[in-house]
Amino acid sequence: MEVWTHHRWRFPLPPHHRFPIEKYGLLAERLIADGLAVPDELREAPPVEWGELATVHDRGLLSRIREGRLTLREQRGLGLPWSPELVERGRRSVGGTLAAAQGARELGVAMNLGGGTHHAGRAFARGYCLFNDVAVALAALRGDGLAERVLVLDCDVHQGDGTADICAEDPLTFTLSLHGARNYPFTRVPSDLDVDIASGTGDDRYLRALSEALDFALPRSRPDFAFYLAGADPFEGDRLGRLALSKSGLRARDELALDRLIDAGAAVCVVLAGGYAADIGDTVDINAATAAAVAKRVRPA
233 in contact with Zn ion (CB under 5 A): yes
Sole window of 154-162, 165-173, 258-266, 278-286 interacting with Zn ion (rule: CB under 5 A): 154-162
Instruction: Please say which residue, 89 or 158, places its beta carbon nearer to Zn ion.
Output: 158
Closest residue to Zn ion, Cβ-based?
A: 274
Residues 6+ apart with CB under 8 A from 215: none
Sole window of 95-103, 152-160, 252-260, 280-288 interacting with Zn ion (rule: CB under 5 A): 152-160
Binding mask 162-201 for Zn ion (x = CB under 5 A): ----------------------------------------
Distance CA 45, CA 9 (A): 10
Give backbone dihedrals phi and psi of 21, rounded to 5 degrees, phi first. -65, -25
156 in contact with Zn ion (CB under 5 A): yes
154 in contact with Zn ion (CB under 5 A): no
Say how many residues make up the chain.
301
103 in contact with Zn ion (CB under 5 A): no
H or E stretch covering 47: none
> Diameter of the chain by CA atoms?
49
274 in contact with Zn ion (CB under 5 A): yes
Instruction: Please say which residue, 95 or 127, places its beta carbon nearer to Zn ion.
Output: 127
First and final CA of the chain: distance in angstroms? 11
Distance CA 298, CA 285 (A): 20
Q: Is 66 helix (H, G, I), strand (E, B) or coil?
A: helix
158 in contact with Zn ion (CB under 5 A): yes
Distance CA 260, CA 278 (A): 31
223 in contact with Zn ion (CB under 5 A): no
254 in contact with Zn ion (CB under 5 A): no
CB atoms within 10 A of CB 59: 11
Sole window of 23-31, 33-41, 228-236, 258-266 interacting with Zn ion (rule: CB under 5 A): 228-236
CB 188 → Zn ion: shortest distance, Å? Answer: 14
CB 231 → Zn ion: shortest distance, Å? Answer: 5
What is the DSSP track for 257-301? Answer: HHHHHHHTT-EEEEE-----BSSHHHHHHHHHHHHHHHHHHPPP-
Q: Which residues bind Zn ion (CB under 5 A)?
A: 156, 158, 231, 233, 274
